[in-house]
Each structure stands twice: as structure tokens, then as C-alpha cells.
Amino acid sequence: MSTLSELVWADWIWFPEGYGWADLKDNDGKVYPKWQDLWACIPIAFCFMIIRKVFERTVAIPLASLLGVKDKQQISAPSNPILESYYCSTSKQPTQSSIESLCKQTDCSVRQVQRWFRQRRNQDRPSKVKKFQEASWRFTFYLFAFFAGLAVLVDKPWFQDVQLIWEDFPRMPLLPSQYWYYMIELGFYLSLVFSVASDVKRKDFKEQLVHHAATILLLSFSWLVNYIRAGTLVLLVHDASDYLLESAKMFSYADWKKTCNLIFTLFAAFFFVTRLIILPFWIIHSTLVLPLGRYSTFPTFYFFNGLMLVLQALHIFWAILILRMVIKFLPGNDIVEDERSDKEEMESEDDSVKPKLREKPKNGHTQNGFSPLNNNHRRRQ
């Protein structure tokens, strides 16, 4: 184990040639980041989860009521153990052959089975108020984080000139403001992972998980090897547009169409500038290209920049979704709909009444709930 530990923490893996962990030992009143500091983000994550629950009940719900966010009354699917068992254990979207098999087991028509599954799926979809609670919580955090990040970075020389993020590397002292900025952001993203089971699941659920995991790994790794200057810039770029997206969602759930469209337009502009221009051409360029002329490459250099490229690939994926939404709402001035949302399936006219499962006929067979015409009796003239 001792040999394995020495190999894992070998200087040549984590630092360029001529540098090592000895350079990050505190001296002359200067403090440097240590891996033990990362444990602080776990209690911060649990604090965020508690604060979120309190916020959603005391702030988000009254705010939703004030803005006129109302849940649509849904028709509950009638009780049917056979269909419920298939829905929970097999599939929420049965195939045509499965529907025919279920019809025989339940003595229901095809239309009734399809209607039951549609209503059952709608029951599982999150309500507007729940979506509003989640969006308002994230809006509050991202807004706070963005302005806190500005306060931390605005007077730093590498904020104006990204080439300075490598000045005196790795012997760059840790500032208290950087410590708290990092720990709070790490704690928040960790809390999102802890609450993923209860959060609203969207179409890009897997991409969101990859994003959270990449962000946590990126922040943790950059803390270990003192890439903190680059890490703070990455955090600020992300927070610059996220609060606009969450506020657009809030007004979308409240059906404030014009306000939603205006904010979403601002968000799209900020997103494209920060995620598709500033991040790749300034920050990633400074972490991937600039060090090559100053230091020799090392394994974790590729790991760090690999995570940066994963984030950039996700940004391109989301940029395509955003572009699709912009194209949809601009011509008709309709409200912006989140392409990642799982939309509610609409009921047809005859589905507005709660359906009854078909009973066995007492006098002969029935077709779609109606007795067949007796061909032996003709209408009298």
C-alpha cells in the first residue's frame, strides 16, 4: 500500500518537471490548498439541502402563488392492479402487442388501455409548482454565486489577463475569498447530486449527471494542484448565464409570455458569448495551449483539460437545444418551452371524462362499449 501510495502521489504525475507537493507546503505565512480541505464541501452540501427545503416552503410556494403559478387538475388513472404492475415493472410505454395482451388480461378495449397509460404517465409528471420551486431555488443560488464570484475576482490581475493564471505556478497562495468561493460552489453541486432522485427529471438527465460529475471532478482536481485561478474563472463563466435561464423558467411556469421570451433572449446571448466564445477561446486556450511554452506536460495536465473539453462538448449540446427553442418562439412570439422538459400528454375530447374499465357484457358481446346492431331488425319505412 505504501508503494502504491507513493506511485499515485508521485510528483511527475501531478506537476510539471521540477515541481512537486513540497511546493504546496505552507511557509512564511502563505497558505496553499490541501486535499483535506475538500471534506468541508460535504457538510456544506447537506446545509444546502436543508436550506433548499426551507426556501421552497417559505419563499418559493408563496412566490408561485403571487405570480399566478397553478397546477393543472389531472384526471387520475382508475385503479387496475394488472396495468399498474406492468407500468411499474415492465414499461411505461407498452408496445402494440403488449397492449393487446393487456386487453385480454383486463377485459378492456385497446383505447381504454392506451388512455389508462397516458393518464398514468401524466400522474408521474412533476407539477408546475414543483418545477417553479426548483427553478426559483437555483435562480437564487446562481444569482448570489455570480455576484459573489465577481466580488472575488474583479480586482485580481488574472481576471483582466488570463495568461497570469500561470504566474508563479504552483506557488500561488490561497486567499480566504477563493477558499469560500470554491467550497460553496462545490457544496452546491454536490447537493444537486444528492437530490437528483427527487429533482425534476428532464430529457437531458444523463447529460446533467455527466455535467455535475465533471464539474465536481474539475473543481476537486484543480484544488489539489492549485489550478484555483483557472477554476474560479470557469465557475464565473458558468454562473453568468445560469440565473437568467432559471428566471426564464419561473416566468414560463407563470405564463408571463413576454417577460419569459425577453429573459430567455438575454440568456441565449449570454450563453453563447460565455460558453462558446469566452470559455473555449480564452480560458480553455489558457489552460491547454499557454502552459506548453512554459512547462513540460504531465499526466494530470491532460486529465484536467480533458474534463474541460467534456464540459465544452456539453455546452455545444445545450447550445443546439437553445437554438431550437429560439427558432420556435421567434416567428410566432409564443412562450419559450424548455426542450428538455417532459411534456404532458393531452387528453382527447372523450378522455375528459374519467373512463370506466369495461365490464363483461351480460347480454352478448359489446364493441367499444356499445351493443352491436341487430341486423335482423330493419328500420320500418
The residue to which cell 404492475 is assigned = 85
229 in the same domain as 94? no
What gap in Å lies between CA 329 and CA 182, rounded to an integer? 37
* pLDDT score of 148: 94
- Measured CA distances, 222 to 149, 214, 238 (Å): 17, 12, 16
For position 115, what pLDDT does the model report?
A: 84
pLDDT score recorded for residue 95: 84
| Residue 361: inside a domain | no
For position 94, what pLDDT does the model report?
84
Which residue matches cell numbers 495568461?
Answer: 163
pLDDT for residue 367: 43
Q: Which residues contact 238 (CB under 8 A, 6 or more apart)?
A: 215, 274, 275
Domain co-membership, 184 together with 286:
yes
What total number of domains does the chain contain?
A: 2
Q: What is the pLDDT of residue 337?
A: 54
Scanning the structure block, which residue is given the C-alpha cell 492549485?
A: 226
Are 34 and 96 contained in the same domain? no
The cell for 81 is: 392492479
- In this structure, is residue 356 part of a structural domain? no
Q: Which of 124, 139, 154 is the last residue of a domain?
A: 124
**pLDDT tens profile 85-101:** 888 888 778 888 888 88
Does a structural domain hold residue 197?
Answer: yes
Percentage of the chain lying above the pLDDT 90 cut? 31
101-117 in b/e form (b: 16+ CB < 10 A) is ebbeebebbebbbbbbb
Domain check: are 252 and 266 in the same one?
yes
Question: Do 177 and 265 share a domain, yes or no?
Answer: yes
Same domain, 132 and 244: yes
Q: Averaged in consecutive runs of 10 residues, what is the pLDDT profile of the chain (381 residues)? A: 79 87 87 90 94 94 90 74 81 83 84 83 77 92 94 91 86 91 93 77 69 84 90 91 92 89 91 94 90 84 88 90 79 51 44 40 43 43 41
Cell of 253: 411556469
What's the pLDDT at 218? 86
CB 199 within 8 A of CB 126: no
- Assess whether 257 and 191 both reside in one domain: yes
Q: What is the CATH number of the domain that holds 93?
A: 1.10.10.60
What is the per-residue pLDDT for 169? 86
Domain that holds residue 86: 81-124
Both 86 and 200 in one domain: the answer is no
In this structure, is residue 156 part of a structural domain? yes
Residue 205 domain-assigned? yes
Q: Which residues contact 212 (CB under 8 A, 6 or more apart)?
A: 189, 192, 193, 196
Could you tell me the CA-to-CA distances from 150 to 145, 154, 218, 240, 343 in Å, in that order?
A: 9, 5, 20, 10, 37
Give a yes or no: residue 73 inside a domain.
no
* One domain for residues 120 and 175: no
Looking at the fold, whether 214 and 274 belong to one and the same domain comes out as yes
174 and 257 inside one domain:
yes
Domain end position, chosen among 299, 329, 359: 329
Q: Give a yes or no: residue 159 inside a domain.
A: yes
Report if residue 363 sits inside a domain: no
Residue 183 pLDDT? 94
Q: What is the pLDDT of residue 284?
A: 92
Is there a contact between 291 and 170 (Cβ–Cβ < 8 Å)? no
Measured distance CA(184)–CA(182) in Å, rounded: 6
- End position of a domain, from candidates 310, 329, 348: 329
User: Are residues 179 and 94 part of one domain?
Assistant: no
